[in-house]
Amino acid sequence: MPTKHLLRIENLHHSFENEEVLKGISFSLDKGETKVIVGPSGTGKSTVLNNIIRLVPPTRGKIYLEDTEITSAKNINEIRQQIGFVFQDFGLFNHLTAKGNVMIGLTKVKKMDKNEAEELALFELDRVGLKDYANSYPSQLSGGQKQRVGIARALAMQPKLILFDEPTSALDPELTGEVLKVMRNLAEEGMTMLVVTHEMGFARSVADELIFMEGGNIVEQGDPEKLFTDPDHKRTKEFLFQLTNLYGEGEK
Amino acid sequence: MNNLELIKSALPYLLEGTLVTIQLTFWSLLIGIVVGLPIAFAQVYGNKILQATVAVYERLARSIPLLVMLLLLNYGLPMLGLRIPIFRAAVIGIGLRSAAYQSQIYRGAIQSVGGSQMKAARSLGMSKMKAFFYIIAPQAIRIAIPPVANESAIVLKDTSLAFTIGVVELLRQGEYFIATSNEPMVIYLTIAAIYFILTTIVNGGLSLFEKKYQIPGIGIEGGHSDAY
Amino acid sequence: MLDIFMEYYPLFLRGLGVTVFVTIISCFSGTVLGTFLALGKIYGNKFVSALVRLFISIIRGTPLLVQLFIIYYGLPAYGIRLTPIIAAVISFIINSGAYQAEYLRGSIQSISGSQLKAAQSIGMTKWQGIRHIILPQALRRVIPSWTNEFIYMIKYSSLAYVIGAKELMTEGKLIASRNYQFFNVYFIVALIYLVVIVIFVYLFNKIEKKVTIP
């Protein structure tokens, strides 16, 4: 099937112990696009992301990375190298410095030369504004700094796209800004990103498309401005209104 | 003679030895408690001199191998004119060693209950003694159960060292039987099985007790002994 | 007492050398064995996991002395004849491996599962994740238990005396049976153990402070 989509998800289903959390999700992502998934907790937003890199294998449905069908691909580890993942709880390796965290995937998975890996790691840390913290251990970093290391680690693998699983929801409000700024820059540089977040300001100003999910289904998707101001569904309006009230406009 | 028959004929002797092993364990643990508890109190509530003395005792008991202790008690002391019957020598050696480890357990338990509990109790007008018995102890005992179970199993296994000074416990009964049957493997495995059952009972029994009186969120993984 | 030590110190020191050597070999090999056991118990399939569990609980549930006897006196009936030192070292490795497996298991399980997930997210296989991410952290966390185990092993290596392996205790007995000064000789042996253990405790405390990750 000819396609220009970078990532295409078709009729994705997922069940946890008889409970269906995803009831047929389909959408696609083009190169350079940023899409944001919003929706109430427990709607399966994170499950979509976990399904894509098969940290949690999907129950049914197909996922394509470019032309490759990856839901049943044998070489999942190679595919994971091409898709970055940023965790809500950072997922930093606690025994490694910031630099070590960024390097380990390069040296152990990509078998890159150590010096080369170090150079790239420092470059990526610089990109997220953390060059000076290269030798700090995770416990010595603030939450925002940890998350930026997490982003640098994903970037260093030079992925085709990056998945963000609520990257700021474990952070104190005053620390979300620095992480969102890094993400905004990435979007502007043309990185392809799929973001699950409650940050409405970010969604509205950065996303090329907003996907509103509820109850395991996509209720509505489209231009964020339209969804915020004139959505087709009443639920979309209610939810976004509620969230904007709760979290504010966020950073502009 | 096949193995099953061999075990059958050995069992009465081995069980006789098991009884001695249990007695050794019981008396050693008792000495451990009787000596260990006051040591723990001395460490927590005692003055500096008392604390230092007790610390020296602990260091000694934790550093000298039990085997060396037993040999010293059995072969060394008679040279100073002090002859102790072997069963008693074994119990003293094992018990005094255990006391050092048990005191550590009790001390840790008392301290982990915390000074704020003592303060709170005193704020109600309880005496130090009352506060200890009604507030500290009930909590400390629960905390101490898993490590005490572990220590009991260690003492049980360590009683096998009494073999070296001639106490006719489980292992030596086995030796006697091996001397006549010349089937070491079968007998040793049977002995191992008996020990295994005994340690399982000790751990299981105390963990049942623990479950019944549990405070949520407290549990300590057992090792050889905690801390040096 | 000092004169006895001065007269026989080469023998005491030779015995001490064997004691320390046996302890070091047993503890380090025990770590290797314990690592495989712990990994088998946590990550192995049902069969492997159950087998490892049984093995560990049997070793932990029986006296080291009995294990030593099985290996030294039991195995020859099956054509396996070992020298006292080798028999001692093997039984110590097995015993220590079982205990260390439990320390490591606790340590591995205290590292959150999200660490393995994060490792897999950058394309590591499960085994790579265990090797490069989980184990380095787990082994570091287990250091206090390991040093504890080492101290324990110095003391319990004296059991090799029972099968005549020439470590410190055996040398002591040989000296004592020559000069009949049982109390003095055993007292010296006890003192040597005390000094050695105090030194190691001191060293380990220093090392632990050094390798701690902030």
Q: Is B180's pLDDT higher than 50?
A: yes
Q: Which residues of A touch C213 (CB under 8 A)?
A: 94-95, 137, 139
Chain C, 127 to 146: residues with Cβ < 8 Å from chain B are 145
The answer to the question of residue B122 being in a domain is yes
Q: Is B217's pLDDT higher than 60?
A: no
Q: Is C202's pLDDT higher than 50?
A: yes
Any idea which residue has 């289904």 for tokens? A217
Task: For residues A136 and A120, give the distance between their C-alpha atoms in angstroms, rounded to a whole number.
Answer: 17
Q: Is C156's pLDDT higher than 50?
A: yes
Task: For residues B73 and C190, give the distance between their C-alpha atoms in angstroms, rounded to a whole number.
Answer: 12
Hey, of B57, B60, B68, which one would you mutate to test binding to chain C, going by the most C CBs within 10 A of its CB? B68
Q: Is B124's pLDDT higher than 80?
A: no
Q: Is C106's pLDDT higher than 50?
A: yes
More confident site: B29 or B140: B29
The encoded tokens of residue C179 equal: 């000069």
pLDDT in tens, A153-199: 999 999 999 999 999 998 988 899 999 999 999 999 999 999 999 88
Q: At what angle do helices B184-212 and B170-181 cross, to 10 degrees?
A: 160
* Residue C140 φ then ψ, to 5°: -65, -40
Task: For residues B61 and B48, give the distance between their C-alpha atoms in angstroms, rounded to a whole number.
Answer: 20
- Mean pLDDT over the full length of chain B: 86
pLDDT in tens, C22-77: 999 999 999 999 999 999 999 999 999 999 999 999 999 999 999 999 999 999 98
Name the residue of chain C whose CA is nearest to B226's CA.
C148
Range of the domain at B55: 17-168
Say yes or no: C125 contacts chain A, CB-CB below 8 A. yes
Give exposure, B136-157, as e/b (b: 16+ Cβ within 10 Å).
beebbebbbbbbbbbbbbbbbb
More confident site: A211 or B141: A211
The answer to the question of residue B107 being in a domain is yes
Q: Is B227's pLDDT higher than 50?
A: no
Chain B, 109 to 168: residues with Cβ < 8 Å from chain C are 153, 157-158, 160-161, 163-164
Query: Judging by DSSP bridges, how do beta strands A7-16 and A19-29 pair with one another?
Result: antiparallel
Measured in angstroms, the CA of C121 and the nearest CA of chain A are apart by: 6
Average pLDDT over residues A59-69: 90
Partner residue facing C186 (CB), from B76, B184, B188: B76
Hey, of A79, A95, A120, A165, which one would you mutate to test binding to chain C, going by the most C CBs within 10 A of its CB? A95
Give the distance from CA B154 to its chain's centroid.
6
Chain B, 11 to 50: residues with Cβ < 8 Å from chain C are none
Q: Which residues of A touch C118 (CB under 8 A)?
A: 85, 87, 91-93
Say yes or no: C164 contacts chain B, CB-CB below 8 A. no
In this complex, the chains that touch A, judged by 3 or more CB pairs closer than 8 A, are C
Q: How many CB atoms neighbour CB A191 within 10 A? A: 20
The answer to the question of residue B27 being in a domain is yes
Average pLDDT over residues C102-125: 90
Measured in angstroms, the CA of C53 and the nearest CA of chain A are apart by: 28
- The residues with which A212 forms a beta bridge, in sequence order, are A38, A220
Q: Which residues of C touch B188 (CB under 8 A)?
A: 66, 69-70, 73-74
The answer to the question of residue B63 being in a domain is yes
Average pLDDT over residues C86-94: 97
Hey, of C69, C82, C105, which one would you mutate to test binding to chain B, going by the most B CBs within 10 A of its CB? C69
The answer to the question of residue B121 being in a domain is yes
Give the residue from B206, B95, B98 showing the smallest Cα distance to B145: B206
pLDDT in tens, B196-215: 999 999 988 777 777 776 65
Average pLDDT over residues C89-109: 95
Average pLDDT over residues C164-191: 92
ipTM for the predicted complex comes to 0.89
pLDDT at B214: 62
Which pLDDT band holds residue A150 (cuts at 50, 70, 90)? Answer: very high
Please compute Rg for chain C using Cα positions.
20
Q: Is B224's pLDDT higher than 70?
A: no
CATH of the domain at B88: 1.10.3720.10
Q: Is C117's pLDDT higher than 70?
A: yes
Measured in angstroms, the CA of C110 and the nearest CA of chain A are apart by: 12
Partner residue facing C214 (CB), from A53, A85, A139: A139
Which pLDDT band holds residue A147 (cuts at 50, 70, 90)? Answer: very high
pLDDT at C3: 86
Cα–Cα distances in angstroms (integers) from residue A209 to residues A13, A37, A204, B79, in the given order: 22, 9, 9, 92
Domain count along chain B: 1
The answer to the question of residue B73 being in a domain is yes
The answer to the question of residue B134 being in a domain is yes
Q: Do the Cβ atoms of A175 and A155 come closer than 8 Å?
A: no
| B67/C186 CB distance under 8 A | no
| A55/C117 CB distance under 8 A | yes
More confident site: C91 or B118: C91
Q: Which residues of B touch C67 (CB under 8 A)?
A: 192
Average pLDDT over residues A190-218: 92
In this complex, the chains that touch C, judged by 3 or more CB pairs closer than 8 A, are A, B
| C118/A157 CB distance under 8 A | no
* Contact pairs from chain A to chain C, CB under 8 Å: 71
Q: Is A94's pLDDT higher than 90?
A: no
| B228/C151 CB distance under 8 A | yes
Which pLDDT band holds residue B45 (cuts at 50, 70, 90)? Answer: confident
Measured in angstroms, the CA of B128 and the nearest CA of chain C are apart by: 35
Task: For residues B91 and C183, give the distance between their C-alpha atoms in angstroms, rounded to a whole number.
Answer: 19
Give percent above pLDDT 70 in chain B.
91
Give the residue from A32, B155, B213, A95 showing the smallest Cα distance to C137: A95
The answer to the question of residue B164 being in a domain is yes
Query: Judging by DSSP bridges, how do beta strands A161-165 and A83-86 pair with one another?
Result: parallel
Chain C, 56 to 95: residues with Cβ < 8 Å from chain B are 57-58, 60-67, 69-70, 73-75, 77-78
